[in-house]
């Protein structure tokens, strides 16, 4: 057994990744994951960190932000709107901007 694993509590006390308990930790772990995945040639330990952070983030998100069983895009958007995580007007406007179109959506101030 690796001697570093003999005292996991000590590792966590020194700042090793641990189970995510709140949205602030989720944000910190996500930022760390983005930084690691942006590396051009991650080292083996960085690749392990990417895998560990991914597992911890997925676990938290699955528990706190469940995706509906039907995962077609329309059902997901409806689910997010119904649960207050997305306002329809904001999503439509954002989608139109990303598409670079002058699409008309209800409430976005454009006319057909």
So where are the chain's domains?
1-66, 69-112
pLDDT of residue 12: 81
Q: 3-state class of 65 per DSSP?
A: coil
**Best CA proximity match to 61, nearest among 25, 86, 26:** 26
Residue 98 has pLDDT above 90, yes or no: no
Burial of 107 (0-12, 13-18, 19+ CB in 10 A): exposed
Q: Backbone dihedral region of 15: left (phi > 0), alpha (psi from -120 to 50 degrees) or beta?
A: left
pLDDT of residue 70: 67
**Best CA proximity match to 65, nearest among 81, 50, 80:** 80
pLDDT of residue 39: 95
Average per-residue pLDDT in the chain? 77
pLDDT of residue 85: 59
Residue range 50-84, pLDDT digits in tens: 999 999 999 999 898 877 676 788 877 777 777 77
Give me the mean pLDDT over the 18-38 stretch: 94
Burial of 20 (0-12, 13-18, 19+ CB in 10 A): buried
Burial of 109 (0-12, 13-18, 19+ CB in 10 A): exposed
Residue 104 has pLDDT above 90, yes or no: no
Residue 9 has pLDDT above 50, yes or no: yes
What is the pTM for the complete model shown? 0.61
Q: At 9, phi and psi to the nearest 5? A: -60, -40
């Amino acid at each position: 057994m690796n001697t570093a694993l003999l005292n996991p509590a000590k590792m966590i006390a020194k700042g090793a990744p641990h189970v995510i308990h709140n949205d602030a930790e989720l944000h910190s772990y996500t930022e760390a994951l983005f930084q690691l995945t942006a590396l051009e040639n991650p080292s083996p330990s960085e690749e392990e960190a990417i895998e560990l952070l991914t597992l911890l983030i997925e676990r938290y998100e699955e528990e706190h932000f469940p995706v509906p069983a039907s995962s077609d895009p329309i059902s997901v958007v409806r689910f997010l709107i119904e649960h207050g995580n997305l306002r329809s007007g904001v999503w439509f406007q954002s989608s139109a901007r990303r598409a670079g179109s002058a699409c008309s959506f209800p409430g976005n101030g454009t006319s057909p």
